[in-house]
Structure 1
């Protein structure tokens, strides 16, 4: 059998395989956009000591990596690439394990190997190293920038009020959500105490929701948790929980849960009727969200239709919890009623749906919600004469 011979171009070894097995030289990789033009040899991007490839791969944990760097066996970036006689390249440990299992074929092409020698692919290693080191240095620079910016924002937060304070908090929230160095800076520079001081009886929703969104991303000390357990601060968190968006509600619950983990936590701190109501509303919203997802598939719609409590329960929830809950309830009702209009509309109207839909249409809900209510009302009215349908609405003569 012929032996595989590596080809040479300008002193750089390149390996020719079929299709995706072709390994590019450095110049071609830069030209094709795989690399960003960093000179070969400057792998650390200006960093003094040479970076460890394994460490860079682990810390970056990138969701997308050029396919030329991926081992076809493990589907992970290669740290020690070697090439077979077929021209295909693999991670050394993976291909040696393949051989140890008694396989003497190329895993990608399934060609029988005429030579089991594995040749270190230095060109691909340097390509991989350069690409990852660029990304790593960029990440480190962004982290340093985030650290400095977080410190600046904390200083600004001590000085500003009103809309400027809200904008500062929004930027700080985005920063701590994406950079661990920013989170550490906020904690180390006393940011938790500063943020906690913004929660109180006169805290606006706009400020409070941003503060809570930041706090749930930070590692809170026992002292910080004790400070947040002051009645005035807990009351502020509960108020924001009651009037906030779903994201804010979840953040409030997460923060309360964090406080409850503290050994000095006292249950009476959160033993309030308003907190119970807010949590129950959040639970109802969660259930409706899940049911809405179920109603989007045929099996789910059929199961909801077959349950005798589905329509009456959803009708009761309309205009009782929140606009988002009403939206989900209407969405589910539309899906179920369209499955069997005659049967379901009779049940829905008897449960008081028509009156509820008219209330939705006359309320301050979004135009999309009103349109959905109008469509469902029209669907429900098809099986009735005008007189009977109006009587089913159970409204006063004036509203009729």
Structure 2
């Protein structure tokens, strides 16, 4: 096989150009991509089969003992590799042009960003709203704009505009900017001030769907700080706003954002769970279950399982008309975690009303689902839970009827 040649020195500028362009998600011509690594070639070489690879990748292929062309799998009749200087020139030229264009764009946007930051220091009223909107659009569209804002005092400047007398128009734009920036711990603690939290919650309840999502994301960032976050989660208005976001079926991203924050709140703050139940979260989530995608479904079931740990939550679950059939349906259909959450919810209802729960569960097809769990490769805890549940159902349901229900449901499925 080939005499292993030392890799030619790759010009550092090409390596740098490729890294910069790839970070910007610009589509690279397929002819520049090495078939082995699926990355742009730094040093293209061609085999006797006519196929071109990056030198380092093809030499690694040969070092593993292969005597074929990776793409065609043909036996190589000539073991030499030939530098593809023409392709190398095209690669360098293309990346250089793209980089120059990108650099000019970056400089233009950076200049605009600095101008907007300077404008924000001077203007008020509608002029301030327009400047903030322009900055938000820049931050949304260009990752490197965020760095410019952060390195030029923009984070402190923008956050200082959020206060007790801030209009919702200004507040919405400020929040839309802050959620895309790297906030210091000190700034997060400052944002947890009661007046700012109150404004944040008000804007969340009255803003557009994007504003609601931005508010939820910013609150999530504040909760991660810990200190003073109790002021945030204790707001009943916040919980109501989150449920509104979760119920908005027209905006799946908003549903996911709301569910994530709601889960964080109830999992980290036991004292809030009763409040979440009191505003009707349980029946609303149960109603949503059949229409949620898998990711949202798992989070919703987790929330319901946590709420089932408080007495009010268990009662609310039991009183939902479709709770048992809706929960039984998700067993063994999405993930092991979903199955575990679902069984925990059913278990909580069973302990409150054994006979009623067992009857409805068997009618909904629980028995064959439990047998499926027991026979599957699920974790032992889940299998044990299913076995115990099956035994309890059989105690409250005659054996012959239980078996017939199993067979009938299995046949229908």
Whether the 8 Å CA contact 2:45–2:84 is kept in 1: the answer is: yes
- Structure 1 residues 181 and 289, CA gap change in structure 2 (3 angstroms): farther
Shift of 1:112: 2.9
Answering whether residue 194 of structure 2 is matched by residue 245 of structure 1, we say: no
What is residue 20 of structure 2 aligned with on the other side?
Answer: 59
Structure 1 residues 363-374: aligned runs within 5 Å:
none
Decide which of 152, 161, 166 is 2:129's aligned counterpart.
166
Corresponding residue for residue 194 of structure 2: 231
- Sort the Cα spacing of 1:168 and 1:101 in 2 relative to 1 into closer, same or farther, 3 A: same
1:281 counterpart residue number: 244
| 2:147 is the counterpart of 1:156 | no
Q: Secondary structure at the match of 1:52?
A: helix
Cα distance in structure 1, aligned partners of 2:235 and 2:321: 35
Given that 1:209 and 1:248 are in contact with CA atoms closer than 8 Å, whether structure 2 keeps it comes out as: yes
TM-fit CA distance, 1:252 = 0.9
Q: Does 1:190 align with 2:153?
A: yes
Which of 93, 104, 112 matches 2:67?
104
Q: 1:289 to 1:116 in 2, by over 3 A?
A: farther
The CA distance in 2 between the partners of 1:220 and 1:128, in whole Å, is: 39
Distance 1:125 1:183, change over 3 A: same
Indicate conservation of the 8 Å contact 1:144/1:181, yes or no.
Answer: no
Structure 1, 76-85 or 184-193: larger mean CA deviation? 184-193
Classify 1:160/1:51 alpha carbon distance in 2 versus 1 (closer, same or farther; 3 Å): farther
Specify the SS of the correspondent of 2:45: strand
- Name 1:309's counterpart in structure 2: 322
1:98 deviation in Å? 2.6
Gaps of 5+ in 2: 1-10, 249-254, 256-284, 295-319, 327-413
* Contact kept in structure 2, 1:69 and 1:78, CA below 8 Å: yes
Q: Normalized against structure 1, the TM-score is what?
A: 0.57
In structure 1, the residue corresponding to 2:49 is in which secondary structure?
coil
Q: 1:179-224: per-residue Cα shift (whole Å, max 9, x none)? A: 3442233233332232223223343332211110101111112332
Instruction: Name the SS of the counterpart of 1:82 in structure 2.
Output: strand
Equivalent residue in structure 2 for 1:139, among 102, 119, 123: 102
> Where do residues 41-60 of structure 1 align in structure 2 (5 Å cutoff)?
52-60=13-21
Larger CA deviation: 58-67 vs 73-82: 58-67
Report deviation, 1:257: 1.9
CA deviation map 1:46-100 (0-9, x unaligned): xxxx753223222321352112111122222111110111222111122223323
- Tell me which residue corresponds to 2:370: none
The SS at the match of 2:74 is: coil
Question: In the alignment, which of 41, 56, 75 is matched to residue 93 of structure 1?
Answer: 56
Secondary structure of the residue aligned to 1:164 is helix
Compared CA separation, residues 142 and 289, structure 1 to 2 (3 A): farther
Q: Which has the higher contact order (CA 8 A, sep 6+)?
A: 1
Aligned to 2:178: 215
Which residue number corresponds to residue 254 of structure 1?
Answer: 217
For 2:191 and 2:137, the matched residues in 1 are separated by 22
Q: Distance in 2 between matches of 1:110 and 1:262?
A: 55
* Stretches of structure 1 lacking an aligned partner (at least 5 in a row): 1-49, 296-306, 314-400
CA distance 1:291–1:213, shift in 2 (3 Å): farther
- Matched residue pairs, number? 253
Match of 1:267 among 208, 221, 230: 230
> Partners of 1:92 and 1:150 in 2: how far apart?
42
Measured on the aligned residues, the alpha-carbon RMSD in Å equals 3.0
**Match for residue 129 of structure 1 among 69, 79, 92:** 92
| Structure with larger Rg | 1
SS in 1 for 2:137: helix
Q: Give the TM-score normalised by the residue count of structure 2.
A: 0.55
Using a 3 Å threshold, how does the CA distance of structure 1 residues 174 and 289 change in structure 2: closer, same or farther?
farther
User: In 1, Cα distance between the equivalents of 2:33 and 2:288?
Assistant: 39
Structure 1 residues 94 and 134, CA, compared in 2 at 3 Å: closer, same or farther? same
Matches of 1:51 and 1:141, distance apart in 2: 21
